[in-house]
Amino acid sequence: MSTTTGPQHDGRLRRAVDLRVLRPVEPAAAGGHFAWAVSAAHLWILGGLFLDGWFHINRGDSESFFTPWHAVLYSGVAATVAVHLWEANRSGGTRPGYAASLAGGVVVLLAGVVDGAWHTALGVEADLEALLSPPHLLLITAGTLVFAGPLRAALRAGDVGAGGLPTAVSAAFVVTGLGFFTQYANPFTHLYPVAGYAFDGTTAPSELREVAGVSGVVVWAVMIGAAVALLRARTVLVTGSLAVSVAVPTLFMTTQRGTYAFVPAILLAAVFSELVGRRTSPALAALTATAALATGWVLTLAATEDVAWSAELLGGSIGSAAAAGYLVGWLVQSGGRSPGPA
Protein backbone atom coordinates (compact mmCIF):
# COMPACT_ATOMS: atom_id res chain seq x y z
CA MET A 1 0.00 0.00 0.00
CA SER A 2 1.41 3.39 -0.94
CA THR A 3 0.47 6.93 -0.09
CA THR A 4 1.11 9.95 -2.28
CA THR A 5 2.78 12.88 -0.58
CA GLY A 6 4.87 15.83 -1.55
CA PRO A 7 4.43 18.60 -4.12
CA GLN A 8 2.54 16.40 -6.61
CA HIS A 9 -0.11 15.50 -4.04
CA ASP A 10 -0.37 19.12 -2.87
CA GLY A 11 -0.86 20.28 -6.46
CA ARG A 12 -3.70 17.80 -7.02
CA LEU A 13 -5.33 18.89 -3.75
CA ARG A 14 -5.20 22.55 -4.76
CA ARG A 15 -6.71 21.74 -8.17
CA ALA A 16 -9.49 19.75 -6.50
CA VAL A 17 -10.31 22.68 -4.22
CA ASP A 18 -10.22 25.08 -7.18
CA LEU A 19 -12.58 22.89 -9.17
CA ARG A 20 -14.97 22.63 -6.23
CA VAL A 21 -15.12 26.42 -5.91
CA LEU A 22 -15.74 26.81 -9.64
CA ARG A 23 -18.35 24.05 -9.91
CA PRO A 24 -21.93 25.38 -10.29
CA VAL A 25 -24.47 23.98 -7.83
CA GLU A 26 -28.14 24.51 -7.01
CA PRO A 27 -29.25 28.11 -6.38
CA ALA A 28 -29.23 29.28 -2.78
CA ALA A 29 -32.53 30.18 -1.15
CA ALA A 30 -33.12 33.91 -1.57
CA GLY A 31 -33.95 34.27 2.11
CA GLY A 32 -31.78 31.44 3.38
CA HIS A 33 -28.86 31.26 5.80
CA PHE A 34 -26.20 31.82 3.14
CA ALA A 35 -27.86 34.96 1.77
CA TRP A 36 -28.16 36.37 5.29
CA ALA A 37 -24.57 35.45 6.17
CA VAL A 38 -23.36 37.24 3.04
CA SER A 39 -25.51 40.27 3.90
CA ALA A 40 -24.06 40.41 7.40
CA ALA A 41 -20.52 40.32 6.02
CA HIS A 42 -21.44 43.10 3.58
CA LEU A 43 -22.77 45.21 6.45
CA TRP A 44 -19.42 44.67 8.17
CA ILE A 45 -17.65 46.05 5.09
CA LEU A 46 -19.91 49.09 4.86
CA GLY A 47 -19.48 49.75 8.56
CA GLY A 48 -15.72 49.97 8.06
CA LEU A 49 -16.10 52.06 4.91
CA PHE A 50 -18.37 54.65 6.52
CA LEU A 51 -16.31 54.77 9.71
CA ASP A 52 -13.27 55.45 7.56
CA GLY A 53 -15.17 58.14 5.68
CA TRP A 54 -16.30 59.80 8.89
CA PHE A 55 -12.74 59.99 10.17
CA HIS A 56 -11.49 61.32 6.83
CA ILE A 57 -14.02 64.14 7.11
CA ASN A 58 -13.93 64.88 10.83
CA ARG A 59 -10.45 63.82 11.99
CA GLY A 60 -8.30 64.44 8.94
CA ASP A 61 -5.30 65.46 11.02
CA SER A 62 -4.79 61.87 12.21
CA GLU A 63 -5.15 60.07 8.89
CA SER A 64 -3.03 57.06 8.04
CA PHE A 65 -3.54 53.94 5.98
CA PHE A 66 -3.04 51.79 9.06
CA THR A 67 -6.16 52.69 11.01
CA PRO A 68 -8.74 50.70 13.00
CA TRP A 69 -11.32 51.66 10.37
CA HIS A 70 -9.33 50.12 7.55
CA ALA A 71 -8.99 47.05 9.75
CA VAL A 72 -12.79 46.86 10.08
CA LEU A 73 -13.21 47.34 6.33
CA TYR A 74 -10.71 44.73 5.18
CA SER A 75 -11.61 42.22 7.86
CA GLY A 76 -15.19 42.49 6.58
CA VAL A 77 -13.97 41.71 3.07
CA ALA A 78 -11.99 38.74 4.40
CA ALA A 79 -15.12 37.56 6.24
CA THR A 80 -17.10 37.81 2.99
CA VAL A 81 -14.57 35.70 1.11
CA ALA A 82 -14.56 33.20 3.99
CA VAL A 83 -18.36 32.91 3.90
CA HIS A 84 -18.27 32.18 0.17
CA LEU A 85 -15.52 29.59 0.55
CA TRP A 86 -17.34 27.97 3.48
CA GLU A 87 -20.52 27.71 1.43
CA ALA A 88 -18.61 26.33 -1.57
CA ASN A 89 -17.06 23.68 0.65
CA ARG A 90 -20.41 22.83 2.27
CA SER A 91 -22.43 22.68 -0.95
CA GLY A 92 -19.72 21.40 -3.30
CA GLY A 93 -19.52 24.53 -5.49
CA THR A 94 -20.42 28.17 -5.99
CA ARG A 95 -24.05 29.19 -5.87
CA PRO A 96 -25.38 30.83 -9.07
CA GLY A 97 -24.90 34.59 -9.00
CA TYR A 98 -22.22 34.57 -6.33
CA ALA A 99 -19.08 33.78 -8.34
CA ALA A 100 -18.53 37.46 -9.18
CA SER A 101 -18.95 38.34 -5.49
CA LEU A 102 -16.22 35.91 -4.50
CA ALA A 103 -13.95 37.21 -7.27
CA GLY A 104 -14.75 40.80 -6.29
CA GLY A 105 -13.80 40.09 -2.68
CA VAL A 106 -10.42 38.75 -3.74
CA VAL A 107 -9.87 41.82 -5.94
CA VAL A 108 -10.76 44.14 -3.05
CA LEU A 109 -8.17 42.46 -0.84
CA LEU A 110 -5.56 42.82 -3.58
CA ALA A 111 -6.64 46.42 -4.20
CA GLY A 112 -6.10 47.07 -0.51
CA VAL A 113 -2.45 46.16 -0.94
CA VAL A 114 -2.26 48.52 -3.91
CA ASP A 115 -3.99 51.22 -1.87
CA GLY A 116 -1.48 50.81 0.95
CA ALA A 117 1.43 51.12 -1.47
CA TRP A 118 -0.21 54.16 -3.09
CA HIS A 119 -0.58 55.91 0.27
CA THR A 120 2.96 55.02 1.27
CA ALA A 121 4.33 56.52 -1.94
CA LEU A 122 2.03 59.53 -2.35
CA GLY A 123 0.50 60.13 1.06
CA VAL A 124 -3.12 59.94 2.23
CA GLU A 125 -5.59 61.93 0.13
CA ALA A 126 -8.28 64.16 1.57
CA ASP A 127 -11.68 65.43 0.45
CA LEU A 128 -12.54 64.85 -3.22
CA GLU A 129 -9.12 63.40 -4.03
CA ALA A 130 -9.77 60.57 -1.57
CA LEU A 131 -12.96 59.59 -3.38
CA LEU A 132 -11.43 59.74 -6.85
CA SER A 133 -8.00 58.17 -6.36
CA PRO A 134 -7.47 55.18 -8.72
CA PRO A 135 -7.04 52.57 -5.94
CA HIS A 136 -10.26 53.71 -4.30
CA LEU A 137 -12.15 53.55 -7.60
CA LEU A 138 -10.86 50.01 -8.04
CA LEU A 139 -12.09 49.23 -4.54
CA ILE A 140 -15.64 50.42 -5.18
CA THR A 141 -15.80 48.74 -8.59
CA ALA A 142 -14.87 45.38 -7.08
CA GLY A 143 -16.92 46.15 -3.99
CA THR A 144 -20.03 46.62 -6.11
CA LEU A 145 -19.55 43.10 -7.45
CA VAL A 146 -19.34 41.90 -3.87
CA PHE A 147 -22.49 43.68 -2.66
CA ALA A 148 -24.53 42.59 -5.67
CA GLY A 149 -24.32 38.85 -4.92
CA PRO A 150 -27.85 38.18 -3.54
CA LEU A 151 -29.40 40.58 -6.06
CA ARG A 152 -27.51 38.98 -8.94
CA ALA A 153 -28.63 35.53 -7.76
CA ALA A 154 -32.27 36.67 -7.74
CA LEU A 155 -32.01 38.18 -11.22
CA ARG A 156 -30.47 34.96 -12.56
CA ALA A 157 -33.54 33.07 -11.38
CA GLY A 158 -35.28 34.35 -14.53
CA ASP A 159 -39.00 33.75 -14.65
CA VAL A 160 -38.97 32.28 -11.17
CA GLY A 161 -38.21 35.72 -9.75
CA ALA A 162 -36.61 34.75 -6.45
CA GLY A 163 -37.77 36.73 -3.44
CA GLY A 164 -36.11 37.41 -0.12
CA LEU A 165 -35.21 40.41 2.00
CA PRO A 166 -31.45 39.86 1.42
CA THR A 167 -32.17 40.61 -2.24
CA ALA A 168 -33.40 44.08 -1.31
CA VAL A 169 -30.56 44.52 1.17
CA SER A 170 -28.12 43.69 -1.64
CA ALA A 171 -29.64 46.33 -3.92
CA ALA A 172 -29.54 48.84 -1.06
CA PHE A 173 -25.89 48.06 -0.33
CA VAL A 174 -24.92 48.52 -3.98
CA VAL A 175 -26.49 51.99 -3.91
CA THR A 176 -24.89 52.70 -0.52
CA GLY A 177 -21.41 51.93 -1.80
CA LEU A 178 -21.93 54.04 -4.90
CA GLY A 179 -23.39 56.80 -2.75
CA PHE A 180 -20.31 56.85 -0.55
CA PHE A 181 -18.04 57.48 -3.53
CA THR A 182 -20.33 60.18 -4.96
CA GLN A 183 -21.11 61.89 -1.66
CA TYR A 184 -19.64 65.15 -2.92
CA ALA A 185 -22.86 65.48 -4.93
CA ASN A 186 -25.29 63.92 -2.44
CA PRO A 187 -28.14 66.04 -1.08
CA PHE A 188 -28.02 64.24 2.28
CA THR A 189 -24.34 64.99 2.89
CA HIS A 190 -23.89 68.47 1.38
CA LEU A 191 -26.58 71.04 2.09
CA TYR A 192 -26.09 73.30 -0.90
CA PRO A 193 -29.45 75.11 -0.53
CA VAL A 194 -28.46 76.50 2.90
CA ALA A 195 -27.43 80.16 2.90
CA GLY A 196 -23.63 80.52 2.91
CA TYR A 197 -23.05 76.75 2.88
CA ALA A 198 -19.34 75.92 2.70
CA PHE A 199 -18.07 72.84 0.86
CA ASP A 200 -15.16 71.53 2.97
CA GLY A 201 -14.56 75.00 4.36
CA THR A 202 -14.89 76.88 1.07
CA THR A 203 -17.96 78.93 0.23
CA ALA A 204 -18.65 78.65 -3.49
CA PRO A 205 -20.67 81.16 -5.57
CA SER A 206 -24.40 80.69 -5.22
CA GLU A 207 -24.79 79.66 -8.87
CA LEU A 208 -22.26 76.88 -8.43
CA ARG A 209 -24.00 75.67 -5.27
CA GLU A 210 -27.29 75.59 -7.14
CA VAL A 211 -25.83 73.51 -9.96
CA ALA A 212 -24.11 71.13 -7.55
CA GLY A 213 -27.20 70.83 -5.37
CA VAL A 214 -29.69 70.04 -8.11
CA SER A 215 -27.20 67.70 -9.79
CA GLY A 216 -26.82 65.82 -6.52
CA VAL A 217 -30.58 65.41 -6.19
CA VAL A 218 -30.76 63.97 -9.71
CA VAL A 219 -27.80 61.62 -9.22
CA TRP A 220 -29.26 60.23 -6.00
CA ALA A 221 -32.69 59.87 -7.59
CA VAL A 222 -31.21 57.83 -10.43
CA MET A 223 -29.51 55.47 -7.96
CA ILE A 224 -32.53 55.04 -5.69
CA GLY A 225 -34.96 54.85 -8.60
CA ALA A 226 -32.91 52.16 -10.31
CA ALA A 227 -32.84 50.00 -7.18
CA VAL A 228 -36.59 50.38 -6.58
CA ALA A 229 -37.51 49.70 -10.20
CA LEU A 230 -35.18 46.70 -10.47
CA LEU A 231 -36.64 45.09 -7.36
CA ARG A 232 -40.19 45.83 -8.49
CA ALA A 233 -39.68 44.61 -12.06
CA ARG A 234 -37.43 41.60 -11.66
CA THR A 235 -38.02 40.03 -8.24
CA VAL A 236 -40.93 38.78 -6.20
CA LEU A 237 -41.23 41.39 -3.48
CA VAL A 238 -41.33 40.46 0.17
CA THR A 239 -42.57 42.88 2.79
CA GLY A 240 -40.12 45.71 3.36
CA SER A 241 -38.14 45.32 0.14
CA LEU A 242 -38.86 48.76 -1.31
CA ALA A 243 -38.59 50.49 2.07
CA VAL A 244 -35.15 48.94 2.59
CA SER A 245 -33.93 50.04 -0.84
CA VAL A 246 -34.95 53.65 -0.10
CA ALA A 247 -34.09 53.98 3.58
CA VAL A 248 -30.85 52.05 4.03
CA PRO A 249 -28.62 53.91 1.53
CA THR A 250 -29.99 57.32 2.49
CA LEU A 251 -29.64 56.73 6.22
CA PHE A 252 -26.05 55.66 5.68
CA MET A 253 -25.36 58.96 3.92
CA THR A 254 -26.56 61.02 6.89
CA THR A 255 -23.79 59.56 9.06
CA GLN A 256 -20.95 61.24 7.18
CA ARG A 257 -21.68 64.84 8.19
CA GLY A 258 -24.24 64.35 10.92
CA THR A 259 -27.29 65.36 8.88
CA TYR A 260 -29.60 63.36 11.15
CA ALA A 261 -32.42 65.88 10.88
CA PHE A 262 -33.36 64.08 7.67
CA VAL A 263 -33.98 60.72 9.40
CA PRO A 264 -37.75 61.14 10.04
CA ALA A 265 -38.36 62.26 6.45
CA ILE A 266 -36.28 59.35 5.10
CA LEU A 267 -38.25 56.81 7.12
CA LEU A 268 -41.58 58.32 6.07
CA ALA A 269 -40.52 58.30 2.42
CA ALA A 270 -39.44 54.67 2.75
CA VAL A 271 -42.78 53.60 4.21
CA PHE A 272 -44.70 55.57 1.58
CA SER A 273 -42.58 54.03 -1.18
CA GLU A 274 -43.29 50.55 0.18
CA LEU A 275 -47.05 51.05 0.40
CA VAL A 276 -47.49 52.71 -2.99
CA GLY A 277 -44.71 51.05 -4.98
CA ARG A 278 -46.00 47.51 -4.47
CA ARG A 279 -49.24 48.49 -6.21
CA THR A 280 -47.83 50.33 -9.21
CA SER A 281 -45.57 49.70 -12.18
CA PRO A 282 -41.79 49.72 -11.71
CA ALA A 283 -41.54 53.15 -13.35
CA LEU A 284 -44.20 54.65 -11.09
CA ALA A 285 -42.68 52.93 -8.05
CA ALA A 286 -39.37 54.62 -8.83
CA LEU A 287 -41.12 57.96 -9.36
CA THR A 288 -42.95 57.60 -6.04
CA ALA A 289 -39.80 56.77 -4.11
CA THR A 290 -37.67 59.56 -5.55
CA ALA A 291 -40.40 62.20 -5.32
CA ALA A 292 -41.15 61.26 -1.70
CA LEU A 293 -37.49 61.33 -0.75
CA ALA A 294 -36.87 64.68 -2.45
CA THR A 295 -40.01 66.16 -0.88
CA GLY A 296 -38.86 65.06 2.56
CA TRP A 297 -35.45 66.58 1.86
CA VAL A 298 -36.94 69.97 0.90
CA LEU A 299 -39.39 70.06 3.83
CA THR A 300 -36.68 69.15 6.34
CA LEU A 301 -34.38 71.85 5.00
CA ALA A 302 -37.17 74.41 5.15
CA ALA A 303 -37.97 73.47 8.76
CA THR A 304 -34.42 73.27 10.11
CA GLU A 305 -32.13 75.51 8.04
CA ASP A 306 -31.87 79.01 6.60
CA VAL A 307 -32.61 78.06 2.99
CA ALA A 308 -31.34 80.45 0.32
CA TRP A 309 -32.91 78.71 -2.67
CA SER A 310 -36.06 80.02 -4.30
CA ALA A 311 -39.34 78.12 -4.40
CA GLU A 312 -38.64 77.40 -8.07
CA LEU A 313 -35.32 75.72 -7.28
CA LEU A 314 -36.75 73.71 -4.41
CA GLY A 315 -39.84 72.65 -6.32
CA GLY A 316 -37.76 72.00 -9.41
CA SER A 317 -35.48 69.71 -7.39
CA ILE A 318 -38.48 67.59 -6.43
CA GLY A 319 -39.66 67.55 -10.04
CA SER A 320 -36.18 66.68 -11.30
CA ALA A 321 -35.91 63.80 -8.81
CA ALA A 322 -39.32 62.47 -9.84
CA ALA A 323 -38.49 62.73 -13.54
CA ALA A 324 -35.11 61.05 -13.10
CA GLY A 325 -36.68 58.28 -11.03
CA TYR A 326 -39.44 57.70 -13.55
CA LEU A 327 -37.10 57.62 -16.54
CA VAL A 328 -34.65 55.16 -15.03
CA GLY A 329 -37.61 53.13 -13.79
CA TRP A 330 -39.09 53.08 -17.28
CA LEU A 331 -35.79 51.85 -18.70
CA VAL A 332 -35.70 49.02 -16.19
CA GLN A 333 -39.37 48.27 -16.73
CA SER A 334 -38.90 48.07 -20.48
CA GLY A 335 -36.32 45.33 -20.04
CA GLY A 336 -37.98 43.20 -17.38
CA ARG A 337 -41.15 41.49 -16.21
CA SER A 338 -43.05 42.45 -13.05
CA PRO A 339 -44.08 39.28 -11.17
CA GLY A 340 -45.62 41.26 -8.32
CA PRO A 341 -45.58 40.70 -4.58
CA ALA A 342 -45.05 37.26 -3.08
Q: What pLDDT digit, counting tens, does each position of 282-295 carry?
A: 999 999 999 999 99
- Give the model's pLDDT for residue 155: 85
The rounded percent of the chain whose pLDDT value lies above 70 is 80
Q: How far is 199 from 181, CA to CA, in rounded Å?
A: 16
Could you say which of 125, 158, 191 is where a domain stops?
158
Q: Are residues 240 and 101 in the same domain?
A: no
With cut-offs at 50, 70 and 90, classify the pLDDT of residue 18. low
Q: Are residues 195 and 269 in the same domain?
A: yes
- DSSP for 60-123? GGG--SS-HHHHHHHHHHHHHHHHHHHHHHHHTSBPTT-HHHHHHHHHHHHHHHHHHHHHHHH-
Query: Above 70 in pLDDT, residue 59?
Result: yes
With cut-offs at 50, 70 and 90, classify the pLDDT of residue 242. very high
Q: Decide if 233 is inside a domain.
A: yes
Q: Are residues 335 and 205 in the same domain?
A: yes
Q: Are residues 249 and 331 in the same domain?
A: yes
Q: Are residues 223 and 307 in the same domain?
A: yes
- Give the model's pLDDT for residue 282: 96
Cβ neighbours for 178, distance < 8 A, ≥ 6 positions apart: 140, 144, 223
Q: What is the mean pLDDT of residues 311-337?
A: 92
With cut-offs at 50, 70 and 90, classify the pLDDT of residue 160. very low
- Give the model's pLDDT for residue 64: 60
3 or 46, greater pLDDT: 46
Burial class of 205 by CB neighbour count within 10 A (0 to 12, 13 to 18, 19+): exposed
- Give the model's pLDDT for residue 15: 47
- Give the model's pLDDT for residue 1: 44
Query: Above 90 in pLDDT, residue 246?
Result: yes
Query: Above 70 in pLDDT, residue 129?
Result: no
253 or 138, greater pLDDT: 253
- Give the model's pLDDT for residue 99: 87
Q: Are residues 137 and 211 in the same domain?
A: no
Query: Above 70 in pLDDT, residue 120?
Result: no
Q: How far is 167 from 341, CA to CA, in rounded Å?
A: 14
Q: Decide if 168 is inside a domain.
A: no
96 or 125, greater pLDDT: 96
With cut-offs at 50, 70 and 90, classify the pLDDT of residue 198. confident
Q: Decide if 173 is inside a domain.
A: no
Q: 184-187 contacts: CB < 8 A, separation 24 or more?
A: 184/128, 184/131, 185/212, 185/215, 185/216, 185/219, 186/216, 186/219, 186/220, 186/253, 187/213, 187/216, 187/217, 187/220, 187/294, 187/297, 187/317
Phi, psi of 339, rounded to the nearest 5 degrees:
-75, -15
The pTM for the full model equals: 0.85
Closest Cα partner for 224 from 190, 267, 178, 155?
Answer: 178
Number of folded domains in the chain?
2
The rounded percent of the chain whose pLDDT value lies above 90 is 52
Q: Give the residue numbers spanning the domain of 206.
A: 182-342
With cut-offs at 50, 70 and 90, classify the pLDDT of residue 217. very high
Could you say which of 143, 158, 173 is where a domain stops?
158
Q: What is the mean pLDDT of residues 94-114?
A: 85
Q: Are residues 147 and 192 in the same domain?
A: no
With cut-offs at 50, 70 and 90, classify the pLDDT of residue 123. low
